[in-house]
Amino acid sequence: MEQSEKLQKILSRVGLGSRRHLEEVIAEGRVSINGSVAKLGDRALPKDIIRVDGRVIRTVPSKDQICRVFVYHKPEGEVCTKRDPQGRPSVFDRLPQLPNDRLINVGRLDLNTSGLLLFTNDGELAHRLMHPSSEIPREYSVRVFGEVTEAMISSMLAGVTVEDQVFKFDSVTFGGGEGINRWYNVVLHEGKNREIRNVFESFDLKVSRLIRIRFGDLTLDRSLPRGGWKELSADDVNYLRSLVDLPRQKTEPVNRHEEKETSTERRHRMAEIKRAVRRHQERRKTGNGEFKGSSHSGEIRARNSNVRKGRGRNSGTGVRRSGSR
């Protein structure tokens, strides 16, 4: 017998927003089930036709969905939206197309920031990982032009106010370099828009490179080329799910042959990823070729308010597991 589910849970799972936000959308009368306007508390079956703002939403029963997570090594110059009015390259261009499913980005990196970016087909997981209450640490490698003093670092740890917003780092450590350009590792747990750049610029320092190298205990594997992606193992998926109090998943994601591959097979696979990245870059330069990435179109916006966006094997996953949190 088919099991019904709460409407906001179904819509959240396909990446249209957090459950709380979708409750507001339902309360505004923007959702219908089989042609009738839905109300808070309504439930739906897999066979029901659900529309949001008149658009039919393709849903997947929870029992049929295998949670999949991909790590992507984002290069500079790519936007984190599916469609860009200026026609700039998107992080979705090179990601795989999932049959009858879509990928949702877990947070964003701005145009000039590179590094580790996560994508999942589980909207509930994505929104929990993004929510500030999860307090998941993110680590960035930052190249700074200018002298960073101990007094500046102390202020960054205590809290810096920029345009009426308070920014605060968990830690700032020297990462190497000589002369006027030096590297620092910065850890924070929320990741507000342009937070790192704003803080350093408030001290008249220029951030010339910014790379996300860790999310929780998952660290970027530098052997994964920029523009390359890999799917996480079940252990790493369950690690992320445990961070936000979601139940473990027993099913291993598909295409996980990398766990048993030889070193020669791994070299061949990584070489193929690099060739694919080069082909993509060449098509971008010439303007030829169409790219078909995920069908994700972004979460539903509130009409009259601004909605705030809110331990396993690592072989061949494109990430490494860090022991620190």
Whole-number Å distance between alpha carbons of 298 and 142? 29
pTM for the whole thing? 0.72
Domains and CATH numbers, the chain: 5-63 (3.10.290.10), 66-134+218-321 (3.30.70.580), 138-215 (3.30.2350.10)
Is 110 one of the catalytic residues?
A: yes
User: Quick one: CA torsion of 276, 121, 12, 6, rounded to 10 degrees?
Assistant: 160
Question: Which member of 64, 84, 110, 170 is catalytic?
Answer: 110
**Beta carbons within 10 angstroms of residue 198's beta carbon:** 16
Q: Dihedral sign, CA of 295, 299, 300, 305?
A: negative
Q: Strands 114-120, 206-215: parallel, antiparallel or unpaired by DSSP? A: parallel
What does the pLDDT profile of the chain (325 residues) look like in tens digits? 567 888 988 888 777 877 888 999 999 999 999 999 999 999 998 889 999 999 998 876 666 678 899 999 999 999 998 888 898 999 999 888 876 678 889 999 999 999 999 999 888 899 899 988 899 999 999 999 999 999 999 999 999 999 888 999 999 999 998 888 999 999 999 778 889 999 999 999 999 999 999 999 999 987 899 999 999 999 999 999 999 999 888 776 655 444 455 677 666 666 767 666 666 666 556 554 333 333 333 455 555 443 333 333 343 456 666 654 3
